[in-house]
Chain A
Amino acid sequence: MTDHELIWRIAGGSGDGIASTSQNFAKALMRAGLHVFTHRHYPSRIRGGHTYTEVRVSADPVKSRGDGYNFLLALGDSFARNPSEGAYYGNEEIKPLSENLDELNEGGVIVYDSGLLDASEIEDFDERVEENNWHVYDIDLRTIAREHGREVMRNTAGVAVTCAIADIEPDVIKSLMSDAMPDKILEPNLTVFDDAYEMVQEEYDVEAPDVSAPTGEHDEEQVLLSGSDAIAYGAIDEGCRFIAGYPMTPWTEVFTIMTQNLPELGGISEQVEDEIAAAALAIGASHAGVKAMSGSSGGGFSLMSEPLGLAEITETPLVLVEAMRAGPSTGMPTKPEQSDLEHVLYTSQGDSHRIVFAPGTAAEAYYQTRKAFQIAYEYQIPSIVLYDQKLGGELSNVPASVFDEEPNADLGSVLTEAELEDAPHDDSGKYQRFQHDTENGVSPRSLPGQKGGRYLATGNEHMPAGHISESPENRVAQMNRRMQKVDNIRAELDADGEFNTVHGDEDADLGLITFGSQQGTVEEAADVLNEKGHSVKVLGVSEMMPFPKQQVADFLDSVDEALVVEMTASAQFRGLISKELGGYGDQMSSLLKYNGNPFEPADIVEGFETALLEGEELPDNRTKFVPKVGE
């Protein structure tokens, strides 16, 4: 964290409006010309349970959560569970305050709602405050809220107090409230805001802390959105007008965004009985000539394994998204992890193939979702966008111009009725939709209802018109042709060269390698390490399959050794690199994190310096270092 940053954490209970308050706060500061990045922590509960959102605010671009934070707004938990002594989950009422002290930086600010929280319930609270030079504001936010509106408006009172202490111009927040709130609740909220703001100015020393929001200016118009938004918008701009799904955290966000937007685009969303049906519906719609998608998280994606293979062998274009969360099984539903990597790369029987992208940022999520559609429809193969609870849920400012792109509704390799007239047919009049020899491995398809296009699609191995066949010659020809498509896709991605990212000095001695959503955090860690005198560069891989072997090998060849950073417990990504490159095991160590929280830049700096360079044990079990082969 740098001096000119505000990292504001609003904590409370699930169902108390923490997410929407933090979103408004982030958007207001973005409008004021600042860069923002959010990090969400929430339980798998509807009401009650400690939740927080962090909003990192900087004058410079930010691409990760920060290291710790410097401003806590602790609100009550309206629906806290039984706080009796010895309760299994502890006293929940106090958690918005007690759970957030460990990560609060020295000199930080604590604002807590003394109407609902009693700091004396926290052991050694005063000692810790003194030791860390924290500035504490105990304010009865609930009463302020009650006086002018409803109790839930304590969020607004807390934001007002934040503005007073962190030097944020009240109009920045109030104008956003005016846009975001319906008239009925706007007036009381504005009154609550003014009252709390004035009260804290008059009765408290708001100048004491050295914590304030920076000021800044954007070069161009910005939008605040999440990875889930970006994935949905990428799909829409590729002409996707059909989605089928079943709710599961955190994939539900993409499903919801699509479902809410598709009706006005004349599209169709289907919430169905299970994920087997969801994937099968996407296949059915795509087969019939509509650009379609489905998706899920780990457990639901397991159910999609069999339809995934069907899409591959029938060469039906299919786009799936997979939002990872901590497993195995139900695991930790609201916590991010990257441990579905191997699941997504390899699930489904036989020599099955698919395309997998793992975007690192919201902008990458948009572009890579678009590319996933383009490849799926051009090459008639399943494409998967692999992301996680972190990328899906975090908000950041992105230039609006990222989305200033032409739509593309091209169905890819499909014949028209006129083209079908000249296409090869068998003696029954069936179109030979799966021809052995084609230029790039792709045999163009027809669509049901087209005159002269009928054929059989089947999950069995099949002859050119689709009929089931176990002929060895046909088998080898079809298998080779389908695999040839993957080689051609790899060549196309190599030619594009735009999806994996390299950050840092080309001549650096040491490398950090990561994939997907950890990219921004790893890049920030590298910047810190380079400032400290190390020589580090970063490779962020997004093309997971087919794997960019040459690019990764070149990167490894250019450094002495590399630390592979991933949110798995078993170093799956490092395993993938070793498998794909057939070596480099003595050059790669791993830094793993699987405790439910995403990496902070400081975790990586520590792992790099302490474990990789010094060879010492890490001080606690937040992260895990796995040395390279032979050590």
Chain B
Amino acid sequence: MSAFSAIGEETEQDQNEFTPGLEPQPTWCPGCGDFGVLKALKGAAAELGLSPDEMMVTTGIGCSGKLNSYFNSYGFHTIHGRSLPIARAAKLANPGLTVVAAGGDGDGYGIGGNHFMHTARENHDITYIVFNNEIFGLTKGQTSPTSPMGHKSKTQPHGSAKTPLRPLSMSLNAGASYVARTAAVNPNQAKDIIVEAIQHDGFSHVDFLTQCPTWNKDARQYVPYIDINDSDDYEFDNTNRSEASEMMFETENALHEGTVLTGRYYVDEDRPSYQQEKQRIGEMPEEPLAERYFDDSYEWERTFDNFLDKHK
């Protein structure tokens, strides 16, 4: 019998199940795109029939880091940029958990960029939502890794001399097996993409455009948006790596020219997840490791029997 009975339990959840029944209520500013992520995640979790006790949502620091304060599940609000390493270890420890990591563009593409690259490379079976508002919000409006060139802020008074980072291209090159972009102003697509991302066996990266009405007033509200998978103007095969790459490049350029492109950019269903690869080479047990500590019949190995001979 599992010590973690919430995992895989048959449930029919209303999305309100994922709303805490009392405080804390969100403290984001009116009109903030972060509400869109919260709503989409609640809708996706309900649609997938997940229970709050089988989900673990890890976050970094910033406005986005509050996501799991307002989402009713197991949560780990970590430190700046480190939601991914904590998420992937929890998944390895107990693979039955549904693990979602989230953070902002500074958190994921700046300070945590190394973890982003390597988590994608290793293809851990987790979903990573990046709240991309092209700005540092909670620290009051500084230029971020995705801010457009020329963007003026208190920390870049003469306008940024840096070209913005290309999140989708970076993700693809690093090895993510599901890459999408959605926007807070596009709630139905956002929910559908998060559903797919959670269902995908491997690292799913969702670059989620979240407008910041307080500190990025000049920026577009990411409307009108175009869904590249639905639009006749954009023909490409998102299972083809090089076509996906071209589409991502075009999308990243277009954003700074005022055209908001969204959709599923790359889907590789064939690549095994990291857990599968690790089990294939015999370096990860088939049974969840976390269960073993509750198994009274397990005979724990000891040094005296297993390892001393080679020292004699």
Binding site for B on A (CB under 8 A): 31, 221-225, 229, 233, 236-237, 239, 241-242, 244, 261-270, 272-274, 276-277, 280-285, 287-292, 306-307, 309-310, 314, 400, 403-409, 411, 416-417, 426-430, 447-460, 466-468
Contacts and interface: CB of A to CB of B under 8 A. Distances in A.
A449 B91 CA distance: 11
Given A229-B311, A289-B290, A451-B53, A430 B72 contact: yes
A221 B61 CA distance: 55
A225 B312 CA distance: 9
A455 B74 contact: yes
B47 to A, nearest CB: 20
Interface string B1-44: 00111110100000000001111100000000000000000000
A237 B75 contact: no
A426 B22 contact: yes
A467 B85 contact: no
A261 B307 contact: yes
Interface stretch (B127-135, B253-261, B296-304): B296-304
Nearest to A398: B311
B311 A459 contact: no
Name which of B21, B294, B303, B306 has the most chain A CB atoms within 10 A of its CB: B303
Contacts of A406: 302
B304 A310 contact: no
Contacts of A450: 3-6, 53
Nearest to A453: B53
Interface in B110-166: 114-115, 117-118
A242 B69 contact: no
B289 A284 contact: no
B56 interface: yes
Contacts of B276: none
Contacts of B302: 236-237, 403, 405-407
Contacts, number: 229
Contact of B5 (A236, A239, A283, A451): A451
B87 interface: yes
B85 A242 contact: no
B304 to A, nearest CB: 5
A613 to B, nearest CB: 42
Nearest to B284: A268
A72 B24 CA distance: 72
A416 B53 contact: no
A280 B89 CA distance: 8
B89 A281 contact: yes
Contacts of B293: 239, 289-291, 409, 411
A449 B290 contact: yes
Given A409-B293, A448-B74, A287 B69 contact: no
Interface string B254-281: 0000000000000000000000001000
Contact of B90 (A263, A288, A459): A288
Interface residues of B, number: 66
A447 B68 CA distance: 16
18 contacts: A265-B301, A268-B283, A277-B82, A280-B85, A285-B89, A290-B293, A403-B302, A409-B298, A447-B3, A447-B94, A448-B94, A449-B97, A451-B53, A454-B53, A454-B73, A455-B75, A456-B76, A456-B77
A277 B85 contact: yes
A75 to B, nearest CB: 26
B311 A288 contact: no
B82 A454 contact: no
Nearest to B302: A407
Contact of B76 (A221, A242, A314, A411): A314
A262 B289 CA distance: 12
A410 to B, nearest CB: 8
A221 B309 CA distance: 11
Nearest to B311: A223
A456 B85 contact: no
Name which of B9, B52, B287 has the most chain A CB atoms within 10 A of its CB: B52
Given A223-B312, A447-B4, A241 B289 contact: yes
A281 B118 CA distance: 13
A224 B311 contact: yes
Nearest to B92: A268
B22 A428 contact: yes
Nearest to B71: A456
A288 B85 contact: no
A343 B282 CA distance: 38
Contact of B20 (A400, A409, A428): A428
Nearest to B116: A273
Given A268-B285, A292-B89, A452-B53, 5 more contacts: A268-B289, A276-B82, A449-B74, A456-B69, A460-B77
A237 B303 contact: yes
Interface in B225-243: none
B290 A447 contact: yes
B72 A454 contact: yes
B170 interface: no
